[in-house]
Structure 1
Amino acid sequence: MNLQKTKIVCTIGPSSDSLEIIEELIKSGMNVARINLSHGKEEDHLNIISNIRNVSKKLDSPIPILADLPGPKYRLGEIKNNSLDLSTDDELFLNCGNSNKDELSVWPPGLHLDVKNGAVLLVDDGAVELEITEINKTIIKTKVQLAGKITSNKAVVPRGLPSKLDYFTEETQSAINFVNSNDIDYLGLSYVRNVKDIIRVKEKIKDKNLKIISKIELQLALDNLEEIINHSDSIMVARGDLGVHLPISQVPAAQKFIINLCNQKGKEVITATQMLESMTENPQPTRAESTDVHNAVLDGSDAIMLSGETSIGKYPIRAVDFMREISTIAENDINHKTLRGIKLDQVDSNNKKIIDELIAHGAANIADQLDAKLIVAFTESGSTAARVAAYRPSQPVVAISPDNNAAINLGLRWGVNTINVESFDHIEDMFTFSENFVLEEKLASIGDTIVVVAGLPIGFKGNTNLIRVITIN
């Protein structure tokens, strides 16, 4: 059994959607497969889902599927020949209503209502900058400030001006319909502004048991961060759009702030965007990218994500190999005691689960103090293993569960590796199984120590109330 701590999310696209590449990605360390519903056709997405499920079954390796909603975002329409090169001081007309052959369209309609003269439009995460010089009804006249190439369907963002679009644009509603009709595990909410957006999405998918991942991309989201975290299962630090809406110099501090607050609350957090961006074209990352991944792990990220590197890049498998190698080395430098203290400081006597929390914290502490080989967490739904892992033990956590969904529930949780077993009737059987399992899998040797955590009574979900230290003999 290959124990992995930092989880890796891979975006699947034309470079990686075949059965063969998906299999290699899983073997290299992919833990979660992501589909960006803003790009590609429905038949492409269906093919990706089918291929992931087939390979996952073949390898007996549950791989959760994350689908990203487009969110309330403006985009360029279709461009002749798909691209347009712009030079400094060029004039570009944007039609924000009904387009015609003379203007480039922006959809959905309404951008002209969100902006004013002098505002700056950022295209494709700021690759091109346009200054608005005139607004005439639905036509926006702009002058190119930062030259570059624009292509069809790229995002258009007014710097510092939040979108007034309803969350459920036609594109987003269509994506939700797709999610409700297909085999998806996690739902990524792009351009979340406040809790209202999250609640409205949950109402749309109330018949589906999906984990909600809120993407932090806006200043409004940062302003409402604590309540967004409280209403989400996980958080994504989406640095691409975040670096458009904030001055790029502020993104590192925002990243650390988001991760820290997630760590305090025990919520999973993904750090994403341009982590190994140069590997879209090159066979190895830059030194700066390697350092970026390393630091994201040290900050307390549960997972790190690859986007274009695996979806359209030339070296998708090498990108995962490097991500795995860099994160594994970084794990040796994590200050577990500090991260554990950040979480413990938020537990008080009013917490209904205070006993469970203290048991989980105790298991992580005891494992460290005894230099145990690993922590074995018997869990029904995954909550016991997640609770222990939230205290960032130095040791890997092996979650043992009779529930087939536990591996999906724990797919993003740092440090947790899940196996599926039959239910146990007696606590002593659980202890015996733990000893035999770690020996068979060569996770521990005779004389080594393991820490076992469980919840009693057996079979009841949500309890964490038992610790046992076992010396293997």
Structure 2
Amino acid sequence: MRGPVKIVATVGPSSASASILAQMLSLGVDVARINTSHGSVDQWSSMLESLRRAEEAVGKRVGVAVDLEGPRVRTSNSALVKLEKGDLVTLGYMEGDIPVDSKQFFEALDEGDIVLLDDGKIALQVESVEGFQVKARVIEGGVLGPRKGVVVRGKEPDLPPLTARDRSALEFFADKGVSHVYVSFARSAEHVEKVRSIIRS
């Protein structure tokens, strides 16, 4: 038999006011999710304050889920980048046509690897690797927005279990009455235990 269904709703720019959150709670939301991939401590604090006001208005307490960004490799471009099939582009650590925010990403690359951007919407094939700079051919084009995910097909860079941003988020939320912590991109039980140890401390 299945357990009771819980509704989890993300608190974001369009839903962060107390009035909107009150409507969401009235319609059945059980858990409010705060995605720490976006925003700042000040914005997260404002979201929590709005949520508490909404709870008082509706007379209902809900869970608060903190979703950690996790050690995800992302592009660090601030503007849109148009990529057409056949283009030869440069990926570099914080530089190049497609800047990438992780040195470990480059350490995992070899000639012939397929690099997928933005959840696989864009695909590149590596032609050469020189330190923290890579030449790659676009095999599936598109428009690349800022801070999109980067993965290498069939490989995992050796990334730490938590980023500095994750630690800051955990420290901020530790005494804020949070009910859930979502550990993104966990690759072993050790990663989960690391989060638990920080929360306990």
Give the alignment's TM-score, normalised by structure 2: 0.90
Aligned CA distance change for structure 1 residues 178 and 118 (closer, same or farther; 3 Å): farther
**Deviation per CA, 1:184-235, whole angstroms, max 9, x where unpaired?**
221000011111111111111114xxxxxxxxxxxxxxxxxxxxxxxxxxxx
Compare the two structures and name the one with the higher helix fraction.
1
Aligned counterpart, 2:24: 25
Q: Which one-letter code corresponds to 2:85 in the other structure?
A: T
Matched residue of 1:74: which SS?
coil
Matched residue of 2:200: which SS?
coil
- Paired residues of 1:72 and 1:163 also in contact (CA < 8 A): no
Deviation at 1:68, TM superposition (A): 0.9
Aligned counterpart, 1:272: none
Q: Which one-letter code corresponds to 1:84 in the other structure?
A: V
Equivalent residue pairs, number: 199
Aligned counterpart, 2:90: 93
Aligned counterpart, 1:198: 192
Deviation at 1:83, TM superposition (A): 1.5
For 1:124 and 1:7, the matched residues in 2 are separated by: 29
For 1:90 and 1:181, the matched residues in 2 are separated by: 50
For 1:114 and 1:65, the matched residues in 2 are separated by: 36
Unaligned runs of 5+ in 2: none
Aligned counterpart, 2:7: 8
- For residues 334-373 of structure 1, the aligned pairs below 5 Å read none
Aligned counterpart, 1:169: 163
Matched residue of 1:10: which SS?
strand
For 2:34 and 2:51, the matched residues in 1 are separated by: 11
Matched residue of 2:103: which SS?
coil
**Deviation per CA, 1:11-68, whole angstroms, max 9, x where unpaired?**
1111211112111111122111111101122222111111111111221211111111
Aligned counterpart, 2:80: 83
Matched residue of 2:47: which SS?
helix
Aligned counterpart, 2:131: 137
Matched residue of 1:75: which SS?
coil
- For residues 81-160 of structure 1, the aligned pairs below 5 Å read 82-96=79-93, 99-100=94-95, 102-160=96-154
- Paired residues of 2:22 and 2:57 also in contact (CA < 8 A): no
For 2:14 and 2:187, the matched residues in 1 are separated by: 32
Deviation at 1:180, TM superposition (A): 2.6
For 1:12 and 1:109, the matched residues in 2 are separated by: 32
Please state if 1:48 is matched with 2:59: no
Matched residue of 1:7: which SS?
coil
Percentage of matched positions with identical amino acids: 26
Matched residue of 1:110: which SS?
helix
Aligned counterpart, 1:178: 172
Flag the structure with more relative contact order, 1 or 2, with Cα contacts below 8 A and sequence separation at least 6: 2
Aligned CA distance change for structure 1 residues 174 and 142 (closer, same or farther; 3 Å): farther
Unaligned runs of 5+ in 1: 208-473
For 2:175 and 2:4, the matched residues in 1 are separated by: 32
Deviation at 1:181, TM superposition (A): 5.4
For 2:86 and 2:6, the matched residues in 1 are separated by: 45
How well do the aligned residues superpose, as a CA RMSD in angstroms? 1.9
Aligned counterpart, 1:356: none
Deviation at 1:122, TM superposition (A): 1.6
Runs of 4+ in 1 over 6 A off after TM superposition: none
Deviation at 1:159, TM superposition (A): 1.6
**Deviation per CA, 1:413-445, whole angstroms, max 9, x where unpaired?**
xxxxxxxxxxxxxxxxxxxxxxxxxxxxxxxxx
Aligned CA distance change for structure 1 residues 179 and 122 (closer, same or farther; 3 Å): farther
Q: Which is higher, the Rg of structure 1 or of structure 2? A: 1
For 2:175 and 2:146, the matched residues in 1 are separated by: 28
For 2:176 and 2:86, the matched residues in 1 are separated by: 47
For 2:175 and 2:88, the matched residues in 1 are separated by: 44
Matched residue of 1:149: which SS?
strand
Give the alignment's TM-score, normalised by structure 1: 0.40
- Paired residues of 1:92 and 1:143 also in contact (CA < 8 A): yes
- Paired residues of 1:49 and 1:183 also in contact (CA < 8 A): no
Matched residue of 2:32: which SS?
strand
Aligned CA distance change for structure 1 residues 130 and 204 (closer, same or farther; 3 Å): same
- Paired residues of 1:75 and 1:153 also in contact (CA < 8 A): yes
Deviation at 1:103, TM superposition (A): 4.1
For 1:153 and 1:120, the matched residues in 2 are separated by: 19
Matched residue of 2:173: which SS?
helix
Q: Which one-letter code corresponds to 2:38 in the other structure?
A: H
Matched residue of 2:172: which SS?
helix
- Paired residues of 1:70 and 1:175 also in contact (CA < 8 A): no
**Deviation per CA, 1:317-376, whole angstroms, max 9, x where unpaired?**
xxxxxxxxxxxxxxxxxxxxxxxxxxxxxxxxxxxxxxxxxxxxxxxxxxxxxxxxxxxx
Compare the two structures and name the one with the higher strand fraction.
2
**Deviation per CA, 1:422-472, whole angstroms, max 9, x where unpaired?**
xxxxxxxxxxxxxxxxxxxxxxxxxxxxxxxxxxxxxxxxxxxxxxxxxxx
- For residues 321-336 of structure 1, the aligned pairs below 5 Å read none
